[in-house]
Amino acid sequence: MTFTLPQLPYDKAALEPHISAQTLEFHHGKHHNAYVTKANELVKGTPLEGLPLEKALIEAHKQGGAAFNNIGQIYNHNLFWKSMTPNGGGVAPAPLADKINEAFGSFDKFKEQFVAGGMGQFGSGWVWLVSDKGKLEIVKTANAETPLTEGKTPLLVCDVWEHAYYLDYQNRRADFLKVFIEKLANWTFAAEAYKA
């Protein structure tokens, strides 16, 4: 198998009451798992077979199509699970917090812009905090697109596909985004990614 489904970094019920165990059961166990299964089928017998995930992603992006869509979704979901932690939220550790204040005006302004970014993604996609060679930006991507293919380093990502929030929040994407940034964001992970 070229790609595998990683275990969640926490128990399925660990993000309650913000994200239910049922949502994680479907989102990780069904949706993410389906991308892994499909991507493995699609790369079988192609030059992508056996490549590490990030390399396969970059190569698949040059062709586009179903292989990229499924590989991109594996990569994006892997980062999404790591972008959350029970008792997350709060502010980023220094020096990342200083960089955020510098880039967005204040930590509160950053949070507002992150939520606005997620709301501004029409249809399915993702909202990201990325580092572009040290410069912080909020970017949104559609479907399975990822800032990695633009040479940017993802620090934090929120899934805004409806399957990410519909069971818990129905159509209230803004509420989900606010909970993500206020209660779940894993700043330890983001700070490590920023250093790397």
Site for Mn ion in 85-144 (CB under 5 A): none
Q: How many residues of this chain interact with Mn ion, rule: CB under 5 A?
A: 3
CB of 32 to Mn ion, least distance (A): 7
Q: Do 144 and 70 form a contact (C-beta atoms < 8 A)? A: yes
152, two tokens: 């940017």
Does 145 interact with Mn ion (rule: CB under 5 A)? no
Nearest distance from C-beta of residue 192 to Mn ion, angstroms: 23
CB of 73 to Mn ion, least distance (A): 7
Find the shortest distance in angstroms from Cβ 77 to Mn ion.
Answer: 6
* Nearest to Mn ion of 33, 46 (CB atom): 33
68 or 161, CB closer to Mn ion? 161
| Binder among 68, 128, 161, 169 for Mn ion (CB under 5 A) | 161
Of 56, 70, 156, 159, the one binding Mn ion by CB under 5 A: 159
**CA–CA dist 114, 76 (Å, integer):** 17
- Given the rule CB under 5 A, which of 18-26, 60-68, 92-100, 156-164 is the region that contacts Mn ion? 156-164
**Considering only CA atoms, which of 42, 61, 59, 58 is closest in space to residue 3?**
42
Contact segment (CB under 5 A) with Mn ion among 34-42, 52-60, 148-156, 161-169 equals 161-169
CB closer to Mn ion, 80 vs 110: 80
Specify the 3-state DSSP secondary structure of 88: coil
Give the binding range for Mn ion (CB under 5 A) out of 4-12, 58-66, 159-167, 168-176.
159-167
Strand order in the sheet with 153-159: 135-142, 125-132, 153-159
- Residue with structure tokens 């997620």? 118
User: Are 58 and 19 in contact, with CB atoms under 8 Å apart?
Assistant: no
Measure the CA–CA gap between 83 and 102, rounded to whole angstroms. 22
Cα separation of 172 and 153, whole Å?
Answer: 29
Residues facing 159 on adjacent strands: 126
What are the residues binding Mn ion (CB under 5 A)?
159, 161, 164
